[in-house]
Structure 1
Amino acid sequence: MQDYKNKPVLVAGASGFVGSHIARQLAEQGRQVRVLVRKTSKIAALEGLPVEIHYGDVLEPDTIRAAMDGCGSVFYSVLDPRFWLTDTSILYRNNVDGLVNAMDVALELGVERFVFTSTMGTLGINPDGPVTEDIPFNWLDRAPAYIRARREAELQLLKYAREKGLPGVALCIANTYGPEDYQPTPHGAMLWDVARGKSKHYIETGAPTVDIRDAAQACLLAEEKGRIGERYIIANEFVSNRDFYAMAAAETGQEPPKGISIKLAYAVAWVAERVLKLMGKKDFLLRTDAVYLSNVFREMDHGKASRELGWEPRPLRETVRDAIAWYAEQERKAGS
């Protein structure tokens, strides 16, 4: 066993969807797992796991240091996903400054592995075929502040690996689905709403997907096999919303929802943005950026992750089935 696996391992952002699954799989391997979460975080996803909880904030380096001290590896899954914020400086502070703080502490303490859960949003766009890690980021002029912040975070990770010797690896993760989605994530909630007949419409777009359990497994594989200073696409099947939600509806015998054209969705969002701004509203979800992001990503090639990490994701239909079964069980428990 590698030396770092004999030491405690820290999962920062373990209350989230990806982070909690990383902590779960590490615990299943018998590792000494520490988690760093805020005191205000909901930690239902960690209940029952044999983990050592450290309360802190990535904007407070002393709390990072206390949690990370003695650890061989760090899995960094801290994320502020609020793309709708009017004050976008918050996104940079939480998504970029927090990561820089953690990397500085990791270098100070001699951490041997640093796995960063990035996003497919940092990848370039390829109109002629599947996206790979080698395609340069080519849509900065259209990228909203959230994507710019996530891209800057990944660039900092790669810079630290290249110039400061941080043993860092970045994973560009697609939209995650699956069980133990306690928050739930917005896209997971939409899946469940369709499955239970609550949501009757969808926008006629599509996106790459990945099972949350496979995403977490990729992180553990990256700890062991990932090349320092590299990034890996962690995306499975690209699926249209039409096919995806038809699959969800079929699981529960519901009628498939109806599609709304992307042009109509843009028009509604454009009008709504202006009306809400005139009313003095801030931080609203209905915005053109959201519509754009729902349609910008295309098929992605995870061949590098398969070749170098040995990563093989499960079929999407299995992910949808297991996710819906989990949501249904949670609803049953809540009603009993």
Structure 2
Amino acid sequence: MPAKRILITGAAGFLGSHLCDRFIREGYHVIAMDNLITGDLKNIEHLFKLPEFEFYNHDVSTYIHIAGHLDYILHFASPASPIDYLKIPIQTLKVGALGTHNCLGLAKAKQARILVASTSEVYGDPLVHPQTEEYWGNVNPVGPRGVYDEAKRFMESITRAYYTFHGVETRIVRIFNTYGPRMRLNDGRALPAFIGQALRGEDLTVFGDGSQTRSFCYVDDLVDGIYRLLMSDYSMPVNIGNPNEISLKDFAEEVLKLTGSSVKITYKPLPVDDPKQRRPDITKAREILGWEPKIDRAEGLKRTYDYFRSLPEEEWSKQPKEFTAKK
């Protein structure tokens, strides 16, 4: 029996590359696609020698053509860090809108099941805590983060439309803050920013007074949740994340303790529309998917720090060109 075939967009990115690994291990033929605007071939080069893996350098916002049958599509193509989507706002909107439309059209033509990667950013700066899937969010559509937030909200809407109007088998994952190996050190998000600063001997930058909270999920746990959702019969959005909430000030302290760094924490003004609280309600994931995170933050942080320390010094000595809101 031939292997099932899956298309993964954004495959050279942080999450996309880990998904490629998972589906290769599960025995799939993986078709990876990425235009490398934020992805890096180093994340997937270990797969190039495999006959069950193929890669296409392509922008899914233009069109998508795949020969032969497809069983599944994972649409993960999108800038995901504030530094990226503030630098390339039009491309961010296009991949969320046109890219999603193209993926859904391909799913319809191939009669494939598609899972799209939404995010906790659809909740904006939430007025409900923790965030359940029924919460509609508090998003500023014309603020600096709107290009990312609204792209993901449109993604969910058009995905549901293809489900209800065309009968396409769709799945929607709402991803909360995730971390692990292959993150880019200087992409502006809290964890790689803190570790990069500690490795360079710089003070750790916390925005606002550090009381804003995040909930960090290790990448292996997230990938398992995505896999279970894809294989489930549930078509509405599902939160996948770790409900263990921590303030960014306390998180910075954890990173300092882990790295053994003697630098200090410095504070800068809170960026526009930066969410004050972020914690997933994962009741649906537990009940529908039998999923919950297994790797605690101490273990996940150690694995991630060890990965960053293993990189050549020139990798973590680079500083970001600009430093903005933490996702």
Query: Is the TM value for this pair above 0.5?
Result: yes
Partner residue, 2:301: 320
Q: 1:124 and 1:183, CA in 2 relative to 1: closer, same or farther beyond 3 A? A: closer
Report the secondary structure of 1:170's partner residue. strand
Report the secondary structure of 2:279's partner residue. coil
Matching of residue 121 in structure 1 with residue 91 in structure 2: no
- Give the deviation of 1:213 after TM superposition: 1.8
Q: 1:234 and 1:256, CA in 2 relative to 1: closer, same or farther beyond 3 A? A: farther
Q: 1:200 and 1:298, CA in 2 relative to 1: closer, same or farther beyond 3 A? A: closer
State the superposition RMSD in angstroms.
2.6
* The structure with more helix, counted as a fraction of residues: 1
Q: 1:43 and 1:324, CA in 2 relative to 1: closer, same or farther beyond 3 A? A: same
Report the secondary structure of 1:83's partner residue. helix
Q: Which one-letter code corresponds to 2:241 in the other structure? A: A
- Any residues of structure 2 matched to 1:62-141 within 5 Å, and which? 64-66=64-66, 69-81=68-80, 82-85=84-87, 88-111=89-112, 113-123=113-123, 127=127, 129-140=129-140
Per-residue CA deviation, residues 85-121 of structure 1 (Å, 9 max, x unaligned), is 4x8443322221111011111101111x211111101
Distance in 1 (alpha carbons) for counterparts of 2:62 and 2:126:
39
Partner residue, 1:304: 284
Q: 1:133 and 1:46, CA in 2 relative to 1: closer, same or farther beyond 3 A? A: same
The counterpart of 1:202, out of the listed 186, 195, 206, is 206
On the 8 A contact 1:22/1:217 being kept in 2, the answer is: no
Matching of residue 53 in structure 1 with residue 55 in structure 2: yes
Report the secondary structure of 1:246's partner residue. helix
Q: 1:60 and 1:301, CA in 2 relative to 1: closer, same or farther beyond 3 A? A: same
Q: Which one-letter code corresponds to 2:94 in the other structure? A: R
Partner residue, 1:218: 225
Partner residue, 2:11: 14
On the 8 A contact 1:195/1:324 being kept in 2, the answer is: no
On the 8 A contact 1:13/1:77 being kept in 2, the answer is: yes
- Answer with 34-43 or 76-85: which moved more: 34-43
Aligned length: 299
- Answer with 170-179 or 129-138: which moved more: 129-138
Task: Name which one, 1 or 2, has greater alpha-carbon Rg.
Answer: 1
Partner residue, 2:323: none
Using structure 1 for the length normalisation, give the TM-score.
Answer: 0.80
Q: Which one-letter code corresponds to 1:130 in the other structure? A: P
Distance in 1 (alpha carbons) for counterparts of 2:315 and 2:134:
46
- Give the deviation of 1:256 after TM superposition: 6.2
Matching of residue 242 in structure 1 with residue 246 in structure 2: no
- Give the deviation of 1:125 after TM superposition: 5.7
Q: 1:329 and 1:323, CA in 2 relative to 1: closer, same or farther beyond 3 A? A: same
Q: Which one-letter code corresponds to 1:79 in the other structure? A: S
Using structure 2 for the length normalisation, give the TM-score.
Answer: 0.82
Per-residue CA deviation, residues 106-152 of structure 1 (Å, 9 max, x unaligned), is 101111x2111111011366545311001123334666232112211
Partner residue, 1:148: 150
Partner residue, 1:253: 260
Report the secondary structure of 2:32's partner residue. strand
Distance in 2 (alpha carbons) for counterparts of 1:179 and 1:28:
18
Report the secondary structure of 1:198's partner residue. coil
Q: 1:334 and 1:235, CA in 2 relative to 1: closer, same or farther beyond 3 A? A: closer
Report the secondary structure of 2:214's partner residue. strand
> Unaligned 5+ residue runs, structure 2?
317-327
On the 8 A contact 1:123/1:136 being kept in 2, the answer is: yes
Per-residue CA deviation, residues 224-278 of structure 1 (Å, 9 max, x unaligned), is 12512x1111121221111111111111211363252xxx604xxxxxxxxxxxx
Distance in 2 (alpha carbons) for counterparts of 1:334 and 1:89:
28
Distance in 2 (alpha carbons) for counterparts of 1:315 and 1:322:
11
Q: Which one-letter code corresponds to 1:331 in the other structure? A: P
On the 8 A contact 1:124/1:139 being kept in 2, the answer is: yes
Per-residue CA deviation, residues 148-204 of structure 1 (Å, 9 max, x unaligned), is 122111211122112221211111111221112257643243132244233333121
> Unaligned 5+ residue runs, structure 1?
267-287
- Give the deviation of 1:53 after TM superposition: 1.2
Distance in 2 (alpha carbons) for counterparts of 1:244 and 1:226:
36
Distance in 1 (alpha carbons) for counterparts of 2:170 and 2:204:
43
The counterpart of 1:162, out of the listed 155, 161, 164, is 164
Per-residue CA deviation, residues 39-61 of structure 1 (Å, 9 max, x unaligned), is 76521100112321123221232
On the 8 A contact 1:202/1:258 being kept in 2, the answer is: yes
On the 8 A contact 1:125/1:131 being kept in 2, the answer is: no
- Any residues of structure 2 matched to 1:324-335 within 5 Å, and which? 324-331=305-312
